[in-house]
Structure formats: structure tokens, C-alpha cells
Amino acid sequence: MTKKIEKIWGKLYGEETKYLNQLKELLDKRREEIEVPIENPNWFKKGTVYSLYVDLFAEDFTGLTKKLDYLEELGIKTLWLLPILKSPMVDQGFDISDFYKIRDELGTNQDFFDFIEKAHQKNMRIVFDIAVNHTSDQHEWFENARQSKEARYRDFYIWNEDQNKFLDTRLLLKGVSNNNWTYNEKTDDYYFHRFYDIQPDLNYKNPEVLFEMIKAFTFWKVKGVDGFRMDAAPFLWKEEGTNCENLKETHLVLKIFREAFDYIGAGTAMIAEANQKPEDVVEYLGNGDECNVVYNFPIMPRIFLAIAEKDSNYLKQQLKILDDLKQPQDTAWFTFLRCHDELTLEFVSDQERELMNNHYLKEEKWEFRAGEGISGRLYELLDKNIQKVLLAYSILFSIQGTPIIYYGDEIGMKNDLEFYEKMTNKFGYKDSRYLNRGPFSETKKEEALNNKDSEEAKIFTGLQDMITIKNENNDLFNQKPNYKTKNNLFISKRELDDKSLTIINNLGEKEVSHQNHNLKPLEYLWILKQDR
């Protein structure tokens, strides 16, 4: 084990040695177990990511293996599997009850390992979600902890006699879960949670918790998982008198995770799910010694604002902020239009939030977090307009970072009211995000593949063309773009040696001419040049 882990451990836990020594033994064992090292440690900077729920996309891992050909045809290089571990599924699998077991309905652990092997044969990388901040209340640790104040796993969680602690901690699920403390009758006190009340937060002040979580993560690493989305990363450490977000100790915990992964074998991508301001998000890259990847949450609403207001300056402002941030070498942004969560409105002004709600909140059911978010599929949000959808994707590929495609958006899937109502009735939470989490449409897929004149095919092939150009020019796409806004055009240019790619996007209402190219409203143009 590295000296760096020992040093950081000392900052967190002082002279504690029991679990530090156990961690050393664990990492040495894992290092011997790993079979195939990753050849290109920076693989996460290349290609395009496809995000999916295994059960909703393909029923189980056997079905997902069969769909690898479809994903390969689209041009996907990385699969981000939304939660797949054992769970009561109250929060779509982010409430994990066993960190070592694939959910029964998805197949066995061996089915998953077989799937990884098939995906790797197609040169696809596999990333999956682990909620690093909390467990399900049905995890054996919490089931034990809630029984008695002397229980074995009591100190794995955070307890208080009343609710008057961490009062500066904001509510993350306003309108869904309106308190960060929940009463536990058997011990006559309260446990702390940042999300649903069925997701008690882990207590990282207990070194055994960190040891157990590293043990679980590295179990999957040696089985072939290429990366982990560290769900709820900013909230790991709690301290009275703070807002319990982005604390220095949280960063130290993540640095230990990173050092542990690198010690076992280079190339594991740690992805920080940090829905924060850009200046806070970039901190999760550390000095190139923390997470490898962060999500570009703040650019997402800017793309939607720019399209709604037909004004490319909304992009200019945000990209200037990102451009000024110091990003360590060999790290990356993941960029996206939509995902399993809402279209977040946290990073816009009150006036912009009003504009967004007026334009995109087409039905009251779509509201999330009391006006701070809008749920919905890309196709629905963009007025079921194919050209708007493709323009949005063109803007996405114009921006620095590795783009993510959310399952079904490539074929114009709609909001699924039936699925929303089913999940609302099942669990009792009115969580509008279920609108954009419905089952994958095989009918639309067949239309996309077999009817070239269908809406589905036009979206699929338009996006496929963009992905193909990126796959064939990854080194060029890794260059930092030069951005320009002019006459409501958003222009991005990348250059490398004798190659250049200029992407022109017309967000305005009028036809615009640029360098002898006329672009109609909502049109985009990609110009790839190679001087010989």
C-alpha cells in the first residue's frame, strides 16, 4: 500500500491502525487478483457514453448482452449502467441493500461477469453506479444498527437525540423528502439522511466504514468493471456548523479511493456525481489525484436556455466560466443533455429559472423539487421537434468533454406516464423523474433501424453520424475548442496538426450566412478539414 494512503489516513483518523492494516492486506490481495490491466488509462476521454437501466433497457444481463450489437451500431464506446446492485428499488436502485450482489431480476453475478467479457470483446468499457454516501434501510448494517444503541453496526450511521443538528444542511429532495432526520422508534432517536428517508447516510468518521466501502468497490474492479460513478460524492463527511457539502475531509476520502484503485491497477475511472457549481465541481479532480471525471451539470440548462431563447450568449457565459477553471491533465468532463434525473435549474438565476419553467414545464406533473427542476425526455422537452433534438446534440458535441446519451433519446422516446403512475402507486413518492425512466421502446428501435423515413430513424442516424465522426477523430475531439458566438450562431472549432473540425449551430430564428455557408434556423453544420 502506498505511503500516500497512510498519510491521508492519518489526517482523517489520527493514529488508528486496525483498519489501516486491514486495508493494506486487502489492497495487496486485490492487486494479485486483477487479471487484465487496462491498456489506455485515459479511455474515459474518448468515444461516447450510453447510460441505461439494465432492466428497463433489456430486462436482464442476458438481454443486454444481446443488445450489444445495437449499441455497437450506434457507435457507443462506454456503457454507464445505472444501479444494478441488490436493492428494494424505492429509489430506482440507488438504495443499495447488498454491495456484493447483482439484483436477482437482472441475473447472477456470473451473468454480469459474462456480460463484461462480451462488452470488452467489442472494445466497450463498463461503468456502474455505487451510492458511496448511503445505503438502503434494508441493508444488513442498518437493520442491525436501528435495533439498539449498542448494536454492532450502530456507528456505521449518524444518530442524534433530536433533529437540531446539521441545521445548515440543505434539503436535496424538496417536495419529496422534507427533512434530513427520521425518527427511529426502537432507539428513540433520529438518523440522518440527505436523500429519501429510506437511505440513511453512512458515517465516514468511522474508519471501518471507509474500509468496507473500499473493499466493496475493489471487489468489482478485479472482476472487470472499468469505472465507478461515485453517487452523491459531495456529501460524504458531515460536520456541525457547516452545510455538510464539499468538506475537505470528503476530498480526502475520495483521494484514498483513487489511490487504492491506482495501486491495484491503473485505468479505473472514478466519476464524481457532484451536482455543484463549476468552481466546486472541478475540486473533485484534485490535482489529478482524486476523481478522473466530473459531470458538467451547469452547462446542461444553458443549452436548453440557449435553444429556448434563441440566444447563443447563454452558452458563451457558461463556457467562459469553465474555460477559466484549472483542470488537471488526464481528467475529463462528462457532458449530457438528459439523464435519469431532472433538467436541473439550480445553476441559473431566478429570472432564468422562470424562463425555463415557462418554456419547458409543459405539464404540472413534470415539476421536480418545487420549481428547481423539470423532469422529462429530451424529445418531449424539445417540442417533439427532430431538428431541435439534433441541434441540441450538435451543441453537445461542440463542447469540450465526453458526451453521454441517455437510453431511448437516440430514438425519440417520450415521457412514460404509465410508468410514472405505476412507481408512484408502488412507493408513495411523487417523484416526477419516473416520467423519463420508462422501459426502452423496442417498437421505436425497429422504426429507427428499418424505416429510414421515420422520425426515429432521422434522430438515430443524425446522432450516429456525429458519433462516427468523433470515433474517427478522438484525438481532435480531445483538443480544447475555440468558441465563438455571432448572430445567434454557436461556433466551435478544434484543431490538431493538419486537421480541424468546425461545428456551426444556428440557434436563431433567421437564416444566417457564415463563411459562405447558409444555415437555416435550427440547422447545424460540421466541417472536417485535413490539409495535406
- Helix (H) or strand (E) run with residue 159 in it: strand 159-160
Residue whose C-alpha is closest to residue 50's, from 467, 474, 475: 467
Q: Rounded to whole angstroms, how far apart are CA atoms 374 and 360?
A: 7
109, three cell numbers: 453475478
Question: What string of DSSP letters covers 307-356?
Answer: HHHT-THHHHHHHHHHHHS-PPTT-EEEEES--SS-EE-TTS-HHHHHHH
Q: Which residues are catalytic?
A: 231, 273
Three-state secondary structure readout of 176-219: CCCCCEEEECCCCEEEECCCCCCCCEECCCCHHHHHHHHHHHHH
Q: Rounded to whole angstroms, how far apart are CA atoms 2 and 514?
A: 55
Buried-state track 340-363, b at ≥16 Cβ within 10 A, e below 16: bbbbbbebbeeebbebbbebbbee
Instruction: For the chain, count helices (H), then strands (E).
Output: 19, 22
- Euclidean distance between the first and the last CA atom of the chain, given in angstroms as a whole number: 50
The edge-to-edge listing of strands for the beta sheet with 343-344 is: 343-344, 373-374, 367-368
Contact status, residue 118 vs residue 112, Cβ threshold 8 Å: no
Residues 6 or more apart whose CB falls under 8 angstroms from that of 121 comprise: none
Q: Rounded to whole angstroms, how far apart are CA atoms 399 and 298?
A: 13
Three-state secondary structure readout of 473-523: CHHHHCCCCEEEEECCEEEEEEEECCEEEEEEEECCCCCEEECCEEECCCC
Residue whose C-alpha is closest to residue 37's, from 293, 184, 222: 222
- Helix (H) or strand (E) run with residue 294 in it: strand 293-295
Q: 34: which DSSP letter?
A: -
Cα–Cα distances in Å, from 74 out to 179, 443, 521?
43, 17, 27
Q: Outline where DSSP puts E strands in 337-426.
A: 343-344, 367-368, 373-374, 402-406
Q: What is the dihedral of CA 195, 196, 199, 201, to 10 degrees?
A: 30
